[in-house]
Amino acid sequence: MVGGEVEVVGRVGLCTAAIALFTDLNVLLNLVSIGTLYVFYMVANAVIYRRYVSVGTTNPWPTLSFLFCFSFTSIIFTMIWQFAPPGKPKGFVLGICTVIAIAVVQLFHCVVPQARKPEFWGVPLMPWIPSISIFLNIFLLGSLDGPSYVRFGFFSALAVLVYVLYSVHASFDAEGDGGPSQKIGEIMKESKESEDHSLKV
């Protein structure tokens, strides 16, 4: 098991070194930034969805509509911020987008009840804090250049292709051969049997 892990780490290290050797640092930084911000954006959406939607008991469409409308408003705000010429019209439109975004969050907060409330710890001020996270991640994503998005799309499509063509089948094969959980169960069973045998002796 350890030898296989070392081999995988070695291969990943070689691939990383090859990419770093032939790639500009700014390109790598932008790719890492896009990946990180996109993951944070998805987590913020998931936090809201998880808090307001309970599968089988609540209708998910109000929450999904809110997430779409708020993300769309944040994208419009970011595009105007980046591409519109400076001046009073730009400030006026940005102000309108801000008012719309706040109104959408407040309307959702007042109309849609939370499906679950954590007993011990949960994100406070729902849905405001995750909504702020959604807006900030979209705004920061808008500050990155276009070629970085092309590279990100290419590598994301490549990762999905590898997952569909290899990883899904490999995981099913591992499950059929007796995956890690099954092997751990067998080891624990053998250990318990040996302990029982030693106690009897």
The answer to whether residue 1 scores a pLDDT higher than 50 is no
* pLDDT given at position 128: 93
Going from N- to C-terminal start, the domains of the chain cover 2-144, 147-201
Calpha distance 196→192 (Å, rounded): 6
And the tokens for 81?
Answer: 């911020």
Closest Cα partner for 100 from 133, 123, 129, 131? 131
Residues 147-166: tens digit of each pLDDT:
888 888 888 888 888 878 87
Of the chain, the percentage scoring pLDDT greater than 70 comes to 77
φ, ψ for residue 16, nearest 5 deg: -65, -45
Average pLDDT score over the chain: 81
Per-residue pLDDT reduced to its tens digit, 46-74:
999 999 998 888 889 999 999 999 999 99
C-alpha 76: how far from chain center: 22
Split at pLDDT 50, 70, 90, the class of 176 is low
Residue 72, CA distances (Å) to 75, 128, 141, 200 in order: 5, 16, 14, 69
pLDDT digits (tens, 9 = 90+) for 72-123: 999 999 999 988 888 888 889 899 999 999 999 999 999 999 888 877 778 8
Q: For residues 113 and 33, what is the distance between their CA atoms, to the nearest angstrom? A: 34
Per-residue pLDDT at 169 exceeds 80: no
Query: Does position 173 have pLDDT exceeding 80, yes or no?
Result: no
Q: CA gyration radius for the chain?
A: 24
Its pTM stands at 0.72
What integer pLDDT is reported at residue 200 of this predicted model? 53
Q: What is the pLDDT of residue 69?
A: 94
> Do residues 71 and 138 lie in contact, with contact meaning Cβ atoms separated by under 8 Å?
yes
For tokens 């987590």, the residue is 43
